[in-house]
Every structure is written in structure tokens, then in C-alpha cells.
């Protein structure tokens, strides 16, 4: 896979400052795999359900794929092999009318690692509550940063900008900032819609908090963590493993800095949920001193995961 060179990354950072979802460029940014699972609807008594009506789920999948993969979210001129790999899974639980659905939404993002065939997870999150939305297969998924056309298009659009932010944070210092600002615009346009997930008062795991965590200057070290872990850490593993591990430890220190400002931050939890197994793999052969520091950092930042480091030398 073709991967950004440092010179190109600097150029891309300049381009992101003039973001526009309507610009025409070389190739779309995402290569997103979408799955719509309607199995629960088939095993429960649901209105508006017939053999001929199940085509709506295929159309829903294609509509979301076209929405993500066919739209220009930025003015970046990306080659096809540079497209960002992600996935969206929609597990439908209920169907209350011909066009009204509810279910669970899961979003994942991956990133290639320099000089290897390895891809690392950047984001993997399943919303905890019911995701309610309307879908009419005869109408397109309309979307605008400053308008709310529907919960499906606004939610998927919001996550597209969030994923772009995280992805470019991993390549350059504060590289994701313009995208987080765009995610914030989507959130602000949607918070008065009446749909759950857009407001801060709806719990610590609403969409509002991902946006807030990444735009709040008090948590600037979160962006440093993504850059240190990936660009200075994983990308350097084939060149200088001790230096790469040091950068990953520095990323964990950055997360501790954020954690000290506010514990149980949603974005910090998500980072650790995605990375913990990778951290275990990287530091299992590491010197005891490094293992102890990683153990202590994980214990402080995400104690739920510390059991996975039980084989580390912590003396």
C-alpha cells in the first residue's frame, strides 16, 4: 500500500485548512465496508415485514456505502491506494414503521503502518444506546454541515469527520484539527433534532463527548498521543524498536496527562480499548523497566485492562 511521505503529509496539512465537502478531487477519501444486519427483525414479530420487503435492507446498505465512499468529504487529492479503510455495522433491533428503524451502530477505522503489511486499529466503537433513524429507499441521504436532514446521514457524516480527524492526528501534529471542527458543526446542527446522542446531558458516551474531547484545548495531549503512538512509534518499529517503544510510552504519558484533567474520558477509554492488545504484544519482549512503566500507566489510565498485563515484570 502506498503510504504518505513526510513531505506529502506537510502538504496535506496545508490543504486541510481549506476544507470543503463539495470540492471535486482525484479520489474519494474512504473505502468503507458497510454491513446492515436485519437478523433480529426476522426472528421477532415486526410490522411492515415481508419477503418482498427485505430488499430495503440491501438498499440501506448500498445507500450508506454510496454516501460514505461516493462523497468528497475534503479537497484532498488522494490516490485510490491511499483511501482510508473503515467499516460501519448497523444491527437493526426494531422497525416501527415502513421507514423508521432502531438498532446499534458500530464504527471502525484502520491505518497502515510504515514499511509493513500490518494495519493498526485507530477507532472501534459501538454506541451503547438504540440508534433511531428513518430511511426511505426512494430518497437520497441528504447531508449538509449546517442543516439536519436526518439522523442517519448526520450520524454517519459526523463519524466520517471524526475518523478523518483521528486518522490525520496519527500522521502529523494536530493534523486532525480541521476535521474535528467539522464534526462539531454536524453535532451542533443535530443537537436540536430531538434524537438521542447529540447532547452532552445524555450521558458520558454520547456523540457529543467524542467531539468535545477532541476540540477541548484542555485535552490537547490527546492529539499528541495519537501522533506519538503511530507516527513516532509504530511507523518506526522496523527501523528502531527501542526508540519506537519509547514513543509509545510517551503516548501513554500523554493519555495520563489527559486523564489527570478528567478521569474516564470517552476518547481515552476508546484509545485504550483499541490498543491494549497491541501494547501487550509490543512490550512483552521489552526490558523489565519498560514493562513496569507501561503497567503502571495502564493501571492508572485504564485499570480495567491491567489484567491483560499480568505477565509483565512489575518489580
| Interatomic CA distance for residues 189 and 142, integer angstroms | 14
Handedness of CA 191, 192, 195, 201 (dihedral sign): positive
Beta pairing class for 30-37 and 84-95: parallel
Per-residue pLDDT of the chain (315 residues; tens, 9 = 90+): 444 444 445 445 444 443 433 333 456 899 999 999 998 887 665 555 555 577 899 999 999 999 999 999 998 888 888 899 999 999 999 998 989 999 999 999 999 999 999 999 999 999 987 899 999 999 989 999 999 999 999 999 999 999 999 999 999 999 999 999 999 999 999 999 999 999 988 888 889 999 999 999 999 999 999 999 999 999 999 999 999 999 999 999 999 999 999 999 999 999 999 999 999 999 999 999 999 999 999 999 999 999 999 999 887
Place of cell 485504550: 272
Rounded Cα distance, 96 and 55, in Å: 17
Residue 193 contacts residue 183 (beta carbons within 8 Å) = no
Distance CA 184, CA 94 (A): 29
Sign of the dihedral through C-alpha 282, 268, 213, 104:
positive
Contacts of 67 (CB under 8 A, 6+ apart): 141, 143, 153, 156, 157
Q: Which of 74, 95, 88 is nearest to 25 (CA)?
A: 74
pTM over 0.85: yes
Write out the H or E segment, with its range, that includes residue 108. Answer: strand 100-112
Which residue bears the cell 477541548? Answer: 216
Coil, helix or strand at residue 111: strand
Name the DSSP letter for residue 83.
P
C-beta of residue 199 within 8 angstroms of C-beta of residue 187: no
Bridge partners (DSSP) of residue 87 are 33, 108
| CA 295 – CA 285 distance, rounded (Å) | 14
Alpha carbon distances (Å) from 183 to 2, 205, 211, 279, 296: 27, 16, 7, 29, 34
Amino acid at each position: 500500500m502506498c503510504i504518505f511521505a513526510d513531505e506529502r503529509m506537510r502538504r496535506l496539512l496545508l490543504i486541510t485548512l481549506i476544507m470543503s465537502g463539495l470540492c471535486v478531487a482525484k479520489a474519494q477519501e474512504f473505502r468503507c465496508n458497510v454491513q446492515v444486519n436485519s437478523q433480529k427483525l426476522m426472528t421477532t414479530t415486526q410490522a411492515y415485514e415481508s419477503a418482498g420487503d427485505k430488499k430495503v435492507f440491501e438498499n440501506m446498505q448500498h445507500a450508506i456505502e454510496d454516501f460514505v465512499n461516493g462523497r468528497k468529504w475534503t479537497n484532498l487529492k488522494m490516490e485510490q491506494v491511499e483511501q482510508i479503510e473503515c467499516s460501519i455495522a448497523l444491527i437493526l433491533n426494531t422497525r416501527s414503521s415502513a421507514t423508521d428503524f432502531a438498532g446499534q451502530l458500530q464504527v471502525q477505522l484502520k491505518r497502515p503502518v510504515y514499511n509493513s503489511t500490518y494495519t493498526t486499529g485507530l477507532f472501534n466503537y459501538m454506541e451503547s444506546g438504540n440508534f433511531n433513524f428513518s430511511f426511505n429507499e426512494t430518497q437520497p441521504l441528504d447531508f449538509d454541515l449546517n442543516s439536519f436532514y436526518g439522523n442517519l446521514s448526520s450520524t454517519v457524516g459526523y463519524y466520517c469527520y471524526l475518523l478523518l480527524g483521528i486518522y490525520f492526528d496519527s500522521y502529523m501534529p494536530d493534523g486532525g484539527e480541521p476535521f474535528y471542527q467539522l464534526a462539531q458543526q454536524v453535532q451542533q446542527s443535530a443537537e436540536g433534532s430531538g434524537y438521542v446522542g447529540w447532547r452532552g446531558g445524555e450521558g458520558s458516551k454520547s456523540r457529543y463527548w467524542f467531539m468535545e474531547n477532541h476540540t477541548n484545548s484542555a485535552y490537547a495531549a490527546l492529539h499528541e498521543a495519537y501522533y506519538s503512538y503511530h507516527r513516532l512509534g509504530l511507523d518506526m518499529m522496523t527501523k528502531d524498536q527501542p526508540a519506537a517503544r519509547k514513543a509509545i510510552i510517551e503516548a501513554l504519558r500523554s493519555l495520563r496527562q489527559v486523564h489527570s484533567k478528567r478521569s474516564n474520558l470517552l476518547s481515552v477509554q476508546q484509545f485504550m480499548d483499541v490498543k491494549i492488545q497491541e501494547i501487550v504484544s509490543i512490550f512483552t519482549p521489552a526490558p523489565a523497566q519498560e514493562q513496569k512503566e507501561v503497567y503502571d500507566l495502564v493501571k492508572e489510565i485504564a485499570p480495567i485492562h491491567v489484567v491483560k498485563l499480568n505477565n509483565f515484570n512489575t518489580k
